[in-house]
Amino acid sequence: MSGKASRARIVYHLARADFLERVRRYGFLVTLGFAVYLGYLGTTGQIFLNLGKYQAVYNAAYVGGFMSYVTTVFLTLAGFYIVKNTVERDQKKRVGQILAACSMKKLDYCAGKFVSNFAVLCVMVAVLAIAGVGMYFLHGDNSGFHPVPLLSTFVIFALPAMAFTAAIALLFETIPGLRSGLGNVVYFFIWNNGHRNYARLADFSLIMARPRSALHRGGFVNLRSSCTETGARRG
Amino acid sequence: MQLEIQGVSKQYSRSTWGLRDFTLGVQPGVLGLLGPNGAGKSTLMRIIATVTRPTQGQVKWNGEDILRAPDSLRAVLGYLPQDFGVYPHLNAVEFLEYLAAVKGLDSVSARRRIDDLLTLVNLSDVRKGPLGGYSGGMKQRIGIARALLNDPGVLIADEPTAGLDPEERVRFRNLLSELAGDRVVILSTHIVSDVEAVATDIAIIASGRLIAHTALESLLRSIQVKTWEWTIPSSELPATRQRFVVTSIARRADGVQVRVIADSQPTRDAGAAVPTLEDAYLACLHAHRAGAAA
């Protein structure tokens, strides 16, 4: 056989096959639908950030920050359970024994699975980023649309969190005691502790749900003034 | 090219052995591995394919221990397991592209090879359809194409014709015959006619042990004057079964035609028959069981 495939080619094809197999499943569409719904809740102001003594100003930076925070909180939890089945699938589908008879390195296999996990989560981040843009146009201030501050927060906050989630989901699948239900419980506690620290780090408090009636009273309108660089001002 | 299996045992639990002290040398050509269900055929296939590690013993490919350095065999291995799976949401081309990359083929070679193999297994027309919509036989043909992706020097096929219709079975047998030559092909099955059609050597395995390894012709010669055929009334069938090793029966208008293995002429009516591999296989198994019971 002419030519030797590089390790990068193996990782690419492994990730591609795994990614396509996942995103063509009905379950993925349901999850994506939930992500779209979450974006809708943010866009319509039904979930918002409780900033304590600060009030939100709906500029691009705030919308980006808010949506990336929602994305990160949601996908570091739900995303873990969504992607934590990639090795298990190979076992259940009996593809694993075919792979075991190949000279592929374990590291390449893990890298391919990690990339696939990450790509699946990135699709959901992209959906929520688009929702963020929609949110800005619906509720944003008059300072003009600035895509860089809006989208950069997804790159800075959400994507590293997705990489972490993708990696830890794979790690849990490779540790015998954490593969099953125990791993799911352990991760929930890790997530619960971790996202609180993340909220402090990002200078956010908890996400709050706002009753729809508050929107009808024009709650957003009162927040639109005196933009600051961070998208929030003292109340 | 030589594959040597030396004293291989596989213990699953304290009292359960998949293989016991199994020794076999395999040369280029088609080796038909025959044995009843649970004999240890799949365990042996998995050990040779480097998927399972034996509890004891060595497997050598061209003198190199594949338990220590499996990549030397994996590079030339085509493995078709009995119960392999597919990604149901990928189409045939995507799935084969994926496994071609894992097998180390570059993209140009892979594309060309996939086209050829899909034509060979008669799946070109459905190449873009999701594998989840394929029938069992079509999935089996995808497995055959997958096992041949790297033009293997060693092909291990575990029950490869299960699920294939008669036409596809003949097609696959012909393919195996063409592939043999300077390759090592191990065909494990309990369908004796498949082995009879393509194998040059036969290995019979029972209870995890090798009970015969010989050329097809010598195996047939061993029962040359021991195969008999005659017709009896249906009512005598149970008694005949108890007295002789009955290898086949056929209902006829005047009774039941029985075919038995016996050292001497069983009755005056019995005539010598041309032995088949099935006769030889059943005779071997019977001798093994009788020896084990004694």
C-beta atoms of B75 and A103 within 8 A? yes
Contact B105 A97 (CB under 8 A): no
Which of A102, A109, A113 to mutate against chain B (most B CBs within 10 Å)? Answer: A102
Lowest mean pLDDT among A108-112, A213-217, B62-66, B133-137: A213-217
Find chain A residues with C-beta within 8 A of B83's C-beta: 94
**Which chain B residue shows the shortest CA-CA distance from A109?**
B102
Chain A residues touching B105 at Cβ < 8 A: 1, 3, 5
Task: Tell me: pLDDT of A198 over 90.
Answer: no
pLDDT over 60 (residue A215): no
Distances (CA, A) of B120 to B139, B146, B186, B217, B249: 14, 12, 20, 31, 37
Residue contacts between A and B (CB atoms, under 8 Å): 96
Q: What is the mean pLDDT of residues A83-101?
A: 90
Grouping H, G, I as helix, E, B as strand and the rest as coil, residue B56 is strand
Check the CA dihedral A166-A168-A171-A173 and report its sign. Answer: negative
Cβ distance A4 to B106 less than 8 Å, yes or no, reads yes
CA distance B195 to B31: 8
Query: What pLDDT score does B292 carry?
Result: 78
Query: What gap in Å lies between CA B121 and CA B139, rounded to an integer?
Result: 10
Chain A residues with CB inside 8 Å of B101's CB?
A: 5, 9-10, 12-14
CB contact under 8 A, A98 and B103: no
User: Which residues of chain A lie closer than 8 angstroms to B75, CB-CB?
Assistant: 103
The per-residue pLDDT for A199 is 60
Q: How far is B21 from chain A (nearest CA, A)?
A: 23
Interface residue of B71, B73, B79, B98 to substitute, partner A, most A CBs within 10 Å = B98
For B51, which of A1, A17, A97 is closest by C-beta distance? A97
Is A103's CB within 8 Å of B85's CB? no
DSSP, res B91: B
DSSP letter, residue A84: T
Band (pLDDT 50/70/90 cuts) for residue A230 is: very low
CB contact under 8 Å between B51 and A13, yes or no, is no
CA dist list (Å): A83 to A59, A91, A97, B33, B183: 33, 15, 21, 41, 41
Give the model's pLDDT for residue B172.
85
Look at B290 and B93; give whichever has higher pLDDT. B93
B278–A contact, CB cutoff 8 A: no
Q: Does B68 touch chain A (CB under 8 A)?
A: no
- Please check the confidence at residue B258 and state whether its pLDDT lies above 60: yes
Report the residue of chain A nearest B146, measured CA to CA.
A98
Q: Is B84 on the interface with A (CB under 8 A)?
A: yes
Indicate if the pLDDT at residue A232 is higher than 70: no
Residue B54 confidence (pLDDT) above 70:
yes
Interface test with B, best of A4, A11, A13, A108 (most B CBs within 10 A): A13
Spell out the residues 6+ positions from residue B271 whose beta carbon is closer than 8 angstroms to its own. Answer: B228, B229, B230
- For A31-45, A108-122, A191-205, B67-81, which range has the lowest pLDDT when averaged over its residues? A191-205
Option in A9, A14, A101 nearest B77 (CB) = A101
The Cα of B273 is separated from the nearest Cα of chain A by a number of Å equal to 44
CB contact under 8 A, A3 and B70: no
Residue A218 has pLDDT above 60, yes or no: no
The residues facing B250 across adjacent strands are: B257
The better pLDDT of the pair A58, B261 is held by B261
Q: How far apart are CA B224 and CA B279, in angstroms?
A: 10
State the pLDDT at residue A44.
Answer: 72
* Cβ–Cβ below 8 Å for A12 and B101: yes
d(CA A80, CA A14): 20
Which band of pLDDT confidence, cut at 50, 70 and 90, is reported for residue A235?
A: very low
pLDDT for the residue B49: 94
Residue B134: the pLDDT is 92
- Tokens encoding B90: 């990928």
